[in-house]
Copies of this chain bind each other. A is one copy, B any other.
């Protein structure tokens, strides 16, 4: 029996079915890309060809119309069983369909025709194969306080600054870049710039070299007087303030990451179980699985896996309901914060439990998994990326969860 997470929509089933196919392709190349730190372009080409990468785009714009962030997480968990780097890179793009479709619904609801047109254009681009990515993280600050600056120039806005951890940058066509810009009163406002690949002034550094997720292409991206047209820049909220889209992207846009890590853990546990079910050991020559110490470790991982799946299933249902299905106009910031709190709880526990599962798989492997030639050694490095994922690391998330739960303003120490 298969107790893995299952999609709940028809489009999701299609997506998950393809994910399982692409997972196999990704697995084939994973070792090489990990060793060399190269991006699995061939896998992404296949995912383009199969339509997988348009799954979250509404059908009328050429996609599968998958509108469940939970189903996205399920599919990426399958893909993550093949290769974690591939899964998290795919997520960077796939979230845009969900978000843009929500924004379109919101604009329509509001009668905001300009936004409506913008979102339709954006979805049409995505539906026709354009690859988007968030290029959000910076060193020395948090997501609510981007330091990359947009300044008015004659023909639009000039972007300056450096982004890091730019997952999917080897492939992306559109970079979604959080920026800040001066306000009239000499303060700062937050906003976003959409930067098409190869806009002069954008340099993708090709410098990603990390402990794990080595095939994710998470390069630095430097912006130096990178000028984009005015309509590609949106200036919104006061710098540092939580705002609706941030909370939506922060949840709906990241549940796929958690899913990816569950896939890594499932893969590791499966390898360990298979190993002890087949290998025998002196002096008795019995299968290793028959030892009580092994059974205990396996049981702990089973409990952890059940926990991870349950949390993704629960928070996926909550996200789909509150952030996607409910009319955006009816969803207050407080509701989004409470849902975000639930997401942070899930993220915290799932990331930690997934690390524990992979760690335990190494233990169960009895030393074999520590060798570079054993895939467990890659999974151990990959899975550790989880807690770094946006938004909010373990350095910040307790404060956030605690404050929201206590009814305090969720303004974090900074």
| Residues on A facing B (Cβ under 8 Å) | 1, 3, 137, 139-142, 145, 147, 164-165, 209-212, 239-240, 273, 276-277, 279-284, 286, 289-300, 302-303, 305-307, 309-311, 313-315, 318, 335, 338, 341-342, 345-346, 348-349, 355, 359, 362-364, 366-368, 370-373, 377, 380-381, 384-385, 387-388, 393-403, 405-408, 413-414
Which of B239, B297, B407 meets A277, CB within 8 Å? B407
Distance between A217 CB and nearest chain B CB, rounded to angstroms: 15
User: A414: which B residues are within 8 A, CB to CB?
Assistant: 281-284, 286
Query: Do B380 and A384 touch across chains, with their CB atoms under 8 A apart?
Result: yes
A283 to B239, CA, bound (A): 9
**6 closest pairs, A vs B, by CB?**
A295-B402, A292-B292, A141-B282, A299-B401, A310-B314, A310-B310
Query: Do B372 and A303 touch across chains, with their CB atoms under 8 A apart?
Result: no
Query: Do B370 and A388 touch across chains, with their CB atoms under 8 A apart?
Result: yes
Query: Do A307 and B311 touch across chains, with their CB atoms under 8 A apart?
Result: yes
A211-B380 contact, Cβ under 8 Å, with A140-B280, A291-B413 = yes
Who on chain B is nearest to A5 by CB? B314
User: A307: which B residues are within 8 A, CB to CB?
Assistant: 307, 310-311, 345, 349
Which of B286, B364, B370, B394 meets A293, CB within 8 Å? B394
Which of B284, B305, B314, B394 meets A363, CB within 8 Å? B394
Who on chain B is nearest to A2 by CB? B338
Who on chain B is nearest to A291 by CB? B413
Distance between A36 CB and nearest chain B CB, rounded to angstroms: 13
Query: Do A296 and B145 touch across chains, with their CB atoms under 8 A apart?
Result: no
Distance between A239 CB and nearest chain B CB, rounded to angstroms: 8
Who on chain B is nearest to A339 by CB? B1
Query: Do B311 and A401 touch across chains, with their CB atoms under 8 A apart?
Result: no
Query: Do B406 and A295 touch across chains, with their CB atoms under 8 A apart?
Result: yes
Query: Do A298 and B406 touch across chains, with their CB atoms under 8 A apart?
Result: yes
A283-B141 contact, Cβ under 8 Å, with A298-B406, A370-B210 = yes
Distance between A401 CB and nearest chain B CB, rounded to angstroms: 4
A210 to B377, CA, bound (A): 8
A1-B335 contact, Cβ under 8 Å, with A314-B313, A402-B295, A408-B290 = yes
Query: Do A370 and B398 touch across chains, with their CB atoms under 8 A apart?
Result: no
A10 to B282, CA, bound (A): 44
Who on chain B is nearest to A311 by CB? B310
Query: Do A306 and B395 touch across chains, with their CB atoms under 8 A apart?
Result: no
A303 to B283, CA, bound (A): 28
Q: Can you report 19 A-B residue pairs in the complex whose CB atoms are below 8 A from each other? A: A3-B318, A3-B338, A3-B342, A142-B281, A209-B372, A286-B414, A291-B395, A292-B399, A293-B399, A295-B402, A297-B394, A297-B402, A298-B406, A303-B345, A306-B342, A363-B394, A367-B388, A367-B393, A380-B384
Query: Do A140 and B292 touch across chains, with their CB atoms under 8 A apart?
Result: no
Which of B210, B341, B377, B405 meets A371, CB within 8 Å? B210
Distance between A303 CB and nearest chain B CB, rounded to angstroms: 4
Which of B273, B342, B367, B377 meets A406, CB within 8 Å? B273
Who on chain B is nearest to A269 by CB? B405
Who on chain B is nearest to A395 by CB? B293
Query: Do A349 and B380 touch across chains, with their CB atoms under 8 A apart?
Result: no
Distance between A209 CB and nearest chain B CB, rounded to angstroms: 5
Which of B302, B348, B387 meets A405, CB within 8 Å? B302
Distance between A373 CB and nearest chain B CB, rounded to angstroms: 7
